[in-house]
Structure 1
Amino acid sequence: MVVFRYLIREILITMAAVTAVLLLVIMGSRFIRYFADAAAGSLPVGLVGSLMLFHMPGFLQLILPLAFFLGIMLAYGQLYLNSEMTVLQACGFSPLKLLGISLWPGVFTGILVGLCSLWLTPLGLATNELTLQQQSAQADFSALSPGRFQDFGSGRTVYAEHLSENRSRLENVFISEGQDATDDSSHVVTRAESGYQVNDEQTGQRYLVLSNGHRYTVEPGGNAAERLDFATYAFRIESVASERDLDDVELQSTAQLLTRDDSDARAELQWRLSLALMIPVLTLLAMSLSRVDPRQGRFAKLLPAIMLHVVYLSLLLSAQEAMRDGVLATYIGVWPIHLAFLLFGLWLLRRTFGQRRGR
């Protein structure tokens, strides 16, 4: 029991360290993207934290299998370096028994990965997509920064010298409208002392109302312009089209996918299951690749192991795309890939430890 707890603790500690490093790197790159969008004014700063939180399950479902794989390799590699594994095997801990011990943290990791891939990740993606669509539909002033030219949708560029404290009113407004907004070849420039947003309760449309300003209409290349002075002028704010439909299979729950019989749904469902099924296969591979000679060092087989994991994951992704495109039948799907790597893991385990028993 002491050895059992010791081995599991070594695997989990190493796995946690690898997970923390990989999660920090991946989330850091995504945070930089969101922070750049917020700095450009296309995303309110207050949404960055929630968007990152709901993206975390999607990161974890990819990081945890690799972290568990490397955790076994690094933990057992250190035991081989210190000759502790030799002592354990001399005391009766056969490779099969070590494999059984390694599968216990594998079950725990598989449950976490399955929880992320089957439930939390689609929920988080759908929540983020809905949040971004609502933000685009509102097109309010929360993302505007005073003193900067920013895209306001529908071909309009807005500049405001000041914003009120509650960010509901613009002051000293400049608006440039291109062909997308005017539906002709003219270009319209509008200046106003102030502006605010109103909602039409009957139609649900949103309008930007400008006060005390001038509106200039010019033809590109022309030397004449039309000027309109106004006390109040309003134009409709159109919602920005969303990049992705909420009916996308990646955003649907696993229960919804089970009710569908199309290739897209089947491919997505097999992909979500595959992330958890990788864990026992990776355990077999890690058991063999973790065995190193003291002169080699614990990192001797690390690069080949990472490349093997990348090939495994890439083949699963390719099979998923092939199923969506109709090239690969869904009843075949990703299962031959899992079977091939499982057989390779068994062969590698027999080859590695069988030769040692022979010697």
Structure 2
Amino acid sequence: MLSQFMVLFGFFALVLVSIVWINKAVRMFDRLIGDGQPAWVFVEFTALTLPGVIGVVLPIAAFAAAVYVVNRLSSESELTVMQATGYSPLRLARPVLVFGVIVAVMMSLLAHYLIPGSLSQLRLRQDEVSRNISAKLLSDGEFLHPAPGITFYIREITQTGELRDVFLSDRRDPEAPVTYTSSRAYLVQEGGGTRLVMVSGLAQNIGADQNRLFTTYFDDFSYDISSLVSRDVVNLDEVAFANTLEMLRDPEAVATRTGTTYGTVMSQTHGRITAALLCVIAALVGFCTLLVGAHSRFGVWRQVLLAFGLLVGIKIVESIVVAPVLLNGALWPLLYLPVLLGLVLSGLLLSIASHPGVWRRLMGRGRRSAEVAS
């Protein structure tokens, strides 16, 4: 059973990751390629988003694998044979628990190390790309605004890198706006900066005091465009990038350093732990729910719907308990309520599957008591 769980888990994880990842990659492709970035930047960015995508789909893949395996065992009567040979529902749940723990370990590696590291690296690369002046300016046929007060236009970019029919408007100083036009221009790296060298052009200045236009023709003119991009240091002091052990040791210090609240730090810290535990819960709930009920030639679709409903309910509880913790970090134990609820539901379902006669008698007595009372 464990081998079947792992095989089906890998299949569902691959399919779900592909769907979500492709959806993100298409949006990122339009943005990066449209900004003039090379293809390798797109590949790097999509690879850095992959750990976060995997972290989202792992619990769903674990749940789907557990449900699918039990459904197949039930439809092929293998589950009935195993139960007839003396395997109790609790014994059958052992490989599911081991499977859930394996998935939880994978999720822990993602939540505590890979996802924070990939997010911080992605932020660094985004900052580097935003500082890439050539990528900001090398886009022909459209008006660009690389900085406030700057408008830049190129009619055509040749294969040799020559810019033709360039328009540059500098209105950063309202008292002295300048407009440059040239038939040809080149981007040149010089002294760690970037300069726009315009050839055969015209500079137009408007004198605000005299309300007159002054024009200057030039054969070549160099314009420093390095200042068009902000040189602020990228901020990596965010809770999403912080180390889990550091947040557990001194959450107040992390909250002060990142400029957030104590509740946000505790929600992030224990949210990473509960994300791994919920992988175990998803597998157990899916498995235990399908054990309930008698064998039917119509399948176990009712149990599948019930398992899906229980999982949705657990996720709703998970989203509800986050808000109080954000307001008051001392309430962080509430984040483990979905895990506790999942364990209780799994235990209850296993008890029903282990003693179906007892539960039928209890339900029968309950119905008779209700009829007598009515």
TM-score tier after normalising by the smaller chain length: 0.7 to 0.9
Distance in 2 of aligned mates of 1:313 and 1:185: 58
Aligned pairs, how many?
Answer: 342
The answer (yes or no) to whether the contact 1:284–1:346 under 8 Å persists in 2 is: no
- Of 102-111 and 349-358, deviating more is 349-358
The answer (yes or no) to whether the contact 1:316–1:334 under 8 Å persists in 2 is: yes
Aligned position for 2:4? 10
Would the alpha carbon gap of residues 182 and 13 (structure 1) be closer, same or farther in structure 2, given more than 3 Å must change?
same
Q: What do the CA deviations read for 1:159-209 (whole angstroms, capped 9, x no partner)?
A: 334446575x634322355xxx525399764322203144555xxx65544
Aligned position for 2:342? 341
TM-score where L is the length of structure 2: 0.79
The answer (yes or no) to whether the contact 2:137–2:144 under 8 Å persists in 1 is: no
| Ranges in structure 1 where 5+ consecutive residues have no aligned partner | 1-6
Aligned position for 2:148? 154
Would the alpha carbon gap of residues 346 and 152 (structure 1) be closer, same or farther in structure 2, given more than 3 Å must change?
same
Aligned position for 1:3? none
- Of 152-161 and 80-89, deviating more is 152-161
Q: For the pair shown, which has the larger CA radius of gyration, 1 or 2?
A: 2
- Of 210-219 and 270-279, deviating more is 210-219
Aligned position for 2:370? none
Aligned position for 1:175? 168
Aligned position for 1:195? 186
Higher relative helix content: 2
Aligned position for 2:223? 234
Distance in 2 of aligned mates of 1:75 and 1:143: 55
* Paired residue secondary structure (1:195): strand
Aligned position for 1:246? 236
TM-score where L is the length of structure 1: 0.82
RMSD of the TM alignment (CA)?
3.2
Distance in 1 of aligned mates of 2:358 and 2:5: 25
Distance in 2 of aligned mates of 1:248 and 1:277: 24
* Paired residue secondary structure (2:146): strand
Would the alpha carbon gap of residues 260 and 190 (structure 1) be closer, same or farther in structure 2, given more than 3 Å must change?
farther
Aligned position for 2:259? none
Within 5 Å, which residues of 2 pair with 1:267-278? 267-278=267-278
The answer (yes or no) to whether the contact 2:188–2:197 under 8 Å persists in 1 is: yes
The answer (yes or no) to whether the contact 2:146–2:229 under 8 Å persists in 1 is: no
Would the alpha carbon gap of residues 224 and 120 (structure 1) be closer, same or farther in structure 2, given more than 3 Å must change?
same
Would the alpha carbon gap of residues 82 and 9 (structure 1) be closer, same or farther in structure 2, given more than 3 Å must change?
same
The answer (yes or no) to whether the contact 1:70–1:286 under 8 Å persists in 2 is: yes
- Of 192-201 and 277-286, deviating more is 192-201
Aligned position for 2:67? 73
1:50 Cα deviation after fit: 1.0
The answer (yes or no) to whether the contact 1:171–1:195 under 8 Å persists in 2 is: no
Q: Percent identity?
A: 21
The answer (yes or no) to whether the contact 2:177–2:205 under 8 Å persists in 1 is: yes
Distance in 1 of aligned mates of 2:331 and 2:229: 38
| Ranges in structure 2 where 5+ consecutive residues have no aligned partner | 253-261, 361-374
Aligned position for 2:299? 297
* Paired residue secondary structure (1:212): strand
Q: Which of 121, 130, 134 is the equivalent residue of 2:115?
A: 121
The answer (yes or no) to whether the contact 1:171–1:194 under 8 Å persists in 2 is: yes
Aligned position for 1:281? 281
Would the alpha carbon gap of residues 299 and 11 (structure 1) be closer, same or farther in structure 2, given more than 3 Å must change?
farther
* Paired residue secondary structure (2:355): helix
